[in-house]
Structure 1
């Protein structure tokens, strides 16, 4: 007999530089002649060969149960074609899993990108489109040597569901 899987709803939040700061940076358009400063992506890519590529992802719904972190590099993600998208994040920590109550989900407009801090837990990108192309800046071997994943379905019989703020959730936890 399989145990009941609980579903925790996470309300989608609008991203801002201030609210995203515990997880990384929100990078928005600036004038071309602006000098380099702290509002530019503060990258950590010295532990290997940087890899900058376009990845095509297909719509995966609004549920997830795995969350990942990278400790050797920062990661930058942004959508192409102006498509909005969502990313679940939790602050970097020394534990083998993030605290459930620290996981947040942000809506990211298609005219900016995010830089994840070293060790930031993340799940996504998620989106409503049939597919979306994303540019991704990380190290060439990030997914082989710096990809630590926690599975909440295995550890807590738990999944997360992204819920739009305009929809009132009927329960924080519900049975699947």
Structure 2
């Protein structure tokens, strides 16, 4: 049995509200005082205590083999200092414990917006080529303890991905 792994390239598209709709929302700046509408993040944080924090990541590159989902809450991510970044996503399929390979997509996120991931959306990232990036992250206080389901593509398919 061969244990060599394949690296599959994913072409990263610049994120837009339209091309990201299947996975969540893209949230951009709006005027102060604007009434709540469809352009605002539709959050589900009712299953625990919301946690909003800044996470510092270093030397991430663009390769991954693990992908994760959270089924109890939405999650919001955005970079500080205007730095662009990458994320790979796959639509929710909460009846199955493995993302559908054919539905994995990669996006490049500019530093002037954030994304909201729908509940159950598989995601790998943030990734980037900068030395370090600070990200704001909104999820539940115990998301990474009780609602963190990860699939390892090396174990299942001897597969690694690279966002290009």
How many aligned positions are there? 163
Give structure 1 regions of 4+ aligned residues with deviation exceeding 4 angstroms.
Answer: none
**What residue is the counterpart of 1:58 in the other structure?**
58
What's 1:17 paired with?
17
Show structure 1 runs of 5+ residues with no match: 164-176
Alignment-derived partner of residue 124 in structure 2: 123
Shift in Å, 1:2 = 5.6
Larger Rg: 1
- Could you tell me which residue of structure 1 aligns to residue 45 of structure 2? 45
TM-score (norm 2): 0.97
Alignment of 1:17-96 (within 5 A): 17-93=17-93, 94-96=95-97
Match of 1:158 in 2: 159
Return the offset for 1:60. Answer: 1.7
When normalised by structure 1's length, the TM-score is 0.91
Task: For residue 18 of structure 2, give the secondary structure of its aligned residue in structure 1.
Answer: helix
Structure 1 residue 95, shift from structure 2 partner: 1.2
Distance 2:101 2:8 in 1: 9
In structure 2, stretches of 5+ residues that fail to align are none
- Which whole-Å CA distance do the structure 1 matches of 2:57 and 2:22 have between them? 26
Tell me how far 1:38 sits from its aligned partner. 1.2
Task: Determine helix, strand or coil for the equivalent of 1:19.
Answer: helix
Q: Cα RMSD over matched residues?
A: 0.9
Q: Deviations over 1:76-101 (max 9, x none)?
A: 00000000001100000021111111
CA distance in 1, matches of 2:6, 2:97: 21
Maintained 8 Å contact 2:65/2:159: yes
